[in-house]
Structure 1
Amino acid sequence: MKNLIYIILGAIIGAVLTYYFCPRQLEGEESVKIVKPKNVISVKEAKVLNDNWTLYRKAAVDSAAQKQGRKEDDRSTYWSLTDIENYLEFAKNESDSLGYQMTGIRVYLGVYGKDADESKKDLTTMFIVPTGSKSKASSLNLNFIGNDEDVPGGSPLNRGTGGGGGYPQ
């Protein structure tokens, strides 16, 4: 009989501890499932791509910077996570108002022209453009690979912080 009391008491204490220490979803809170995007590459692959860019493109690209008195051209652009998150929400909203369903982004290389200020004149930049497909009036809106286009009138994101150097070794 004594053993049965200990077993029951242990089960009750275990249940109470489980209730208080095990994570649980709060009422009204959605669980967030984190999915690794397809086409994520390894750090090793990124270094190979960076090294190939250095081998095949750096001299040609840096020649424009040297004409402006800089040692090298920018080869990367940085935007804060907040800027990217805000831009994605803004671009989704703007695409919707333009009659498009935003399904992605495209990153373009660009060059500031001769009319840019001295610090950017003729140097490389990168900008992001929203992509998507024309929204349909019906509830059936299937997006197939290859149907996405740059959203006409969609506002591009530019003016990140230019980077030099290259991918960290």
Structure 2
Amino acid sequence: MPDPILPDLLRPGLDLVFCGTAAGRRSAEQAAYYAHPGNLFWRALHAVALTPRLFAPAEFPQLPALGIGLTDLAKHHIGNDDELPRDAFDADALRKRIERHAPRVLAFTSKAAARAALGHATGYGLQQERYGQTQLFVLPSPSGQARGHWDLGPWHALAALVRAR
């Protein structure tokens, strides 16, 4: 199996892990999560006070020190969701990684990621389902291509959930 496009940023004891679908072209080129300048991920993290300052995508390896991890569903594919092959998403592998590392919360960074992982459509916010002890949360996509659906409200709700230990 080839190396993943982006490495998982997972370890036991994390409060929060974000999960997207797959690395975009810019993220793959820069070897950094959410690297496209139009992506609101890093700005959203700072806006809801999950990070103490605005991080650059290349600084993603610093997130575990803040209790935050990163992963994605398609570890070996690059591109927009509509460009990915049907078998790109490995929901079983994601579930195993999350159950092994047991973060408090797994946040899907789009409804598409949540649907691919859970096998059904879902709304934003905290979900009834869990992966082991890990709570699941669905966020509006920070991608520039999803700007019409952007809402920082669920990101604030996630931050409040993470802070409420």
- TM-score normalised to the size of structure 1? 0.20
Higher relative contact order, structure no. (Cα contacts within 8 Å, ≥ 6 residues apart): 2
- TM-score normalised to the size of structure 2? 0.21
